[in-house]
Amino acid sequence: MELTELEPEGPYRLIVDDADSRHIEYFAKPHDALQRWAEFDAVMRPNAAFTHPPDTRLASVTAH
């Protein structure tokens, strides 16, 4: 994994290499890039501990 700050306040480039490919993504915040890396890590190492962040979407609203 490689996380690079491209400018003093971002964006950030995340590079993740696996056995067959290279994934490159860009993020505004370093926390978002690290969260994405954790997702890659969980797939590449399925026995590693990883929990998804809580769902912060609003619950559906039913009109009355």
pLDDT tens for residues 20-39?
A: 889 899 999 989 988 998 88
d(CA 23, CA 41): 12
Check pLDDT > 70 for residue 55. Answer: no
- pLDDT value of position 61: 53
Distance CA 32, CA 17 (A): 18
* Cα–Cα nearest to 1, from 32, 24, 28: 24
- pLDDT category of residue 54 using cuts at 50, 70 and 90: low
15 touches 2 (CB < 8 A): yes
pLDDT given for residue 14 in this prediction: 92
Neighbours of 8 (CB within 10 A): 5
pTM, two decimal places? 0.63
